[in-house]
Copies of this chain bind each other. A is one copy, B any other.
Amino acid sequence: MKKALAIDVGGTKIYNTIVDESGNIVADVEKRATPKTFEEIRTVLKEIVQKYENEVDVIAFATAGAVNNENTGVLGSTGNIASGYPNMDFVNLSAKRVFVENDANAAAWAEHVLGASKGCAHSVMLTLGTGVGGGIIVDNKLLKGKSGAAGEMHFKLYRDKRRKCTCGAYDCFEAYASGTGLRLTAAEITNVPNVTTYDVIAEVNAVLEQTKALEDTHTKTERLQKGILSKYVEAFLRWQDDILIGCIGLADLFDSDVIVLSGSMAEFVDVDYIEKELNKEIVTTYTKVRQASAGNYSGMIGAALLALGVGN
């Protein structure tokens, strides 16, 4: 069975492991902090490649930043990784074949091949983390666009300049639907400037515990609405509705079978609520909303599957 050395290069962490063509992780997952400079990142990647390249058929990178249509390099970085990073010569890091894909695109592919969008020709995946990533599958193929940069979630939720996004523009979906967005919404609503995402989630969990008796007959969102009046919960529900608003637009544009929510913040979202409310509003046909199910390392798994030509 063919195998790929899979490496996930993010703004804060670099992960690596080995993935086989069934999408199984067949080695330990190693993790280290992403160095601050281009040269240091290059040295780390070179070390990982040299250590494992003889055990595998291909090197598969899942990386921050948009990746070109040749799957050889990064077009532009995300702003939270060393500024020289787009110059990385991935192909020459190994004598073996090297394949590069954007991390959200790779994760979307893992969901498509073996996760929540398996069997669906059309899907949209959102990774809700510090930022928001997007991976879109049209007719069983990744949507890449003219240069490889498609699937960026910077459509606007307002048009009157309320909140600046990390991209430099205002009011992008990412600026509201991300974990950072939740924190900013909570700071606005509570007037506590240093409120953390953790504070909000802790309060949400407390209210869910308090309303546990309603669990059989009420959704998570209904229980939050019925719980103690709390600015934190209000912020959470506003954040969830921001995600809903974005999903409505995406469902109408792509008429996808399913919208998959992935990333560290996704588990807190009531996908049944999003699915129910979304289908009241869209003009296209019924669209499912699901939690991702390909696991924490879906970026590495998806990059490996793409590099090994699985699912095409």
Q: Does A268 contact B (CB under 8 A)?
A: no
For the residues of A in contact with B, the DSSP-based class is loop
Asked if B253 contacts A146 (CB within 8 A), the reply is no
**Closest approach, in angstroms, between the C-beta of A190 and any C-beta of chain B?**
19
Interface size class of A (residues with CB under 8 A): 35 or more
Partner of A156, one of B147, B151, B248: B248
Q: Which residues of B contact A148 (CB under 8 A)?
A: 255
Q: Hey, which bits of chain A sit against chain B, CB under 8 A?
A: 66, 75-76, 120-122, 134, 136, 138-139, 141, 143-159, 167-169, 241-242, 245, 248-250, 252-257, 281-285
* Of the residues B122, B155, B158, B252, contact of A154 by C-beta under 8 Å: B252
A71 → chain B, closest Cβ, in Å? 15
Question: A159 touches which one: B76, B122, B143, B158 (CB < 8 A)?
Answer: B158
Shortest beta-carbon distance from A251 to chain B in Å: 9
Partner of A150, one of B66, B134, B284: B284
Contacts of A169 in B (CB 8 A): 248, 281
* A72–chain B nearest beta-carbon distance, Å: 16
Q: Is the CB of A145 within 8 A of B284?
A: yes
**Pair B157/A159 contact, Cβ less than 8 Å:** yes
Verify A155–B122 contact, CB threshold 8 A: no
> Is the CB–CB distance between B285 and A151 below 8 Å?
no
